Structure formats: structure tokens, C-alpha cells
Chain A
Amino acid sequence: QSVLTQPPSASGTPGQRVTISCSGSSSNIGSNTVNWYQQLPGTAPKLLIYSNNQRPSGVPDRFSGSKSGTSASLAISGLQSEDEADYYCAAWDDSLNGHVVFGGGTKLTVL
């Protein structure tokens, strides 16, 4: 049982816009920023979004993040086949001595 809650799966067709939610509490998302990671099959996770809505250099602007209260969202517009991957949200948790908590992950399928 992960501290942050994500839907286990999401799907969309090429060109479509999809969103992935991440729900937490006041001690994690409510008081800290959210990072998102993309994990392509058989590879290590890769930083996709940091500080709720910032993209590292090299990440396409099709990816965007937002946060409101104790929830965050990742949006992918203009969906492409190479976006098929697992997506994880993460945040620090003040109730756990500043430990990092992850969401359970969302498997995105491009139909």
C-alpha cells in the first residue's frame, strides 16, 4: 500500500491528452513539492517533472504537471507511442522524518 495513490492504469490513443492523478495528504503533497518519474520498460526511472510543474531540459513540453492541495496531476498531450511507460509521483513526507514516498505507479498504454 503506497502512501501516495495513483490509478494503476491509464490509456489513450495517439494524439490524445491523458492525465494521471496522484493523491496524498497534508504531510506530503500538501506541504511539499511533487516530482514525477517515467520508467520505460526494462529501464531505470527518469526524472520527468520536478517541483510540481518544472520540466528538466530535454523533456518535451507535451508533459506538464500541476498541484492543488493534497493532489497532483501529470498531463501528457499529443500522446505518442513512445510515451507508453510507468509513471510515478513522489514527494517528501514530513510525518516520516522527511522520508521520500512514492505513488504505486500508473501504467500508461498507448492504444
Chain B
Amino acid sequence: QVQLVQSGAEVKKPGASVKVSCKASGYTFTGYYMHWVRQAPGQGLEWMGRINPNSGGTNYAQKFQGRVTMTRDTSISTAYMELSRLRSDDTAVYYCARLGYSSSFPHYYYMDVWGKGTTVTVSS
């Protein structure tokens, strides 16, 4: 079945970096964009950016420009999200989500498969 399996929880100190992985299975990894969304404790969903696993092209939310890097390894169907210069307000659950699309034209796009999330805690 189609699924996204994310790496385990991380605890980091302020100023450090974290790299979260998202392994895809059950579908052609390069055929679907991958998005990253985070959720701070008790807060709503926040879009971070996306990567085209086929080309490696990325598009980041302005808020994270300069601190986030999304990459992929097509040989193992895995996407990565690295966030640097961590602060306490980066404490959140980080989700990867596949961008699915409707089969008929025009195509409509939506995040149809989500990972279970990776908890990142930033604390001194």
C-alpha cells in the first residue's frame, strides 16, 4: 500500500540542525511532488515547502528561506527536510505529504498521503 515512513523523534539544542527523512513506498516516488508541513504544539498546520523528486527542484515558504533544505535520494525513494539554526519555536511535529492529483483533466492537486510525523524538540 502507499505509505510514507518518517524517521524518529529528535531532540536538538538551539543553533543546531535537524534532518528528517521520509521514505516512500507503494508508488513511483519520482511521479509525485513531496510537501513538508509542520505543526507546533497546540497550533495549526504550517506549509514549509515542496520538492519535485524527479528533478530535485524546490520551492520554500518565505518564512523558512535560508534555513530549510529539501533534498531527495531517488535510489531509495526517500525525501529529506533539513532545518538549520534551530530555535525553540521550531519545536513541532514535521510531516511529509505526497501531492496527489485527480486522474481526469483538469488535474486537481491535494496532499493525499501523509507520514505519521516526526517530533522535533529544540531545547537547551
Contact = CB atoms under 8 A, between A and B. Distances in A.
B118 to A, nearest CB: 11
A100 B30 CA distance: 21
Q: In this complex, which of B37, B45, B100 has the most chain A Cβ atoms within 10 angstroms of its Cβ? A: B45
Interface stretch (A11-19, A50-58, A77-85): A50-58
A64 B35 CA distance: 25
A88 B45 contact: yes
Interface residues of A, number: 28
B115 interface: yes
Given A44-B114, A98-B59, A50 B102 contact: yes
Given A44-B115, A98-B59, A100-B35, A35 B45 contact: no
Interface in A33-53: 33, 35, 37, 39, 43-47, 50-51
A56 B114 CA distance: 14
Nearest to A99: B61
Given A44-B117, A100-B35, A105 B45 contact: yes
A103 B44 CA distance: 8
B53 to A, nearest CB: 17
Contacts of B112: 47, 50, 56
B80 interface: no
Interface in B86-121: 95, 97, 100, 102, 108-112, 114-117
A44 B45 contact: no
B32 interface: no
Q: In this complex, which of A99, A101, A103 has the most chain B Cβ atoms within 10 angstroms of its Cβ? A: A99
Interface string A84-99: 0010101010001111
Nearest to B4: A44
B108 A102 contact: no
A2 B44 contact: yes
B46 A35 contact: no
B1 interface: no
A48 B111 CA distance: 10
Contacts of B45: 37, 39, 45, 88, 90, 102, 105
